[in-house]
Amino acid sequence: EIVLTQSPATLSLSPGERATLSCRASQSVTSFLVWYQQKPGQAPRLLIYDASNRATGIPARFSGSGSGTDFTLTISSLEPEDFAVYYCQHRSNWPFTFGQGTRLEIK
């Protein structure tokens, strides 16, 4: 089973700042890495698929990069609605697993 480790666990930033979230895989997942956003009391939402492709309707301030074992989700300039928990997930092979999440909170 591939283990995904996200860092940091919590990120405290202010609106307008740049956020950089990391996801590291225990073995290569090539580009089969997905990012989701989850707000309290809501289901997750697909943000980025296959490492760098924005899902439909996702603002351009969200971008993903990386391949192999190291991946990054970047939010270029934080909006108030971006404060949430972010999960990475691989789809390289079964079982598909998620990282433990990064909580992005308002500083």
At its nearest, how many Å lie between another protein and the CB of residue 14?
26
If one asks whether residue 102 binds another protein (CB under 8 A), the answer comes out as no
The 3 state secondary structure assigned to 6-75 is EECCEEEECCCCCEEEEEEECCCCCCCEEEEEECCCCCCEEEEECCCEECCCCCCCEEEEEECCEEEEEE
- Closest approach of Cβ 91 to another protein, in Å? 2
In angstroms, give the least distance from the CB of 93 to another protein.
9
Here's the x/- map for another protein, 48-77, by CB under 8 A: it reads as -x-----x----------------------
Piece of the chain touching another protein by CB under 8 A; list 11-19, 63-71, 74-82, 98-106: 98-106
36 with 89: CB under 8 angstroms? yes
Beta-carbon count within 10 A of 103 CB: 15
Binding stretches for another protein (CB under 8 A):
32, 34, 36, 38, 43-46, 49, 55, 87, 89-92, 94-101
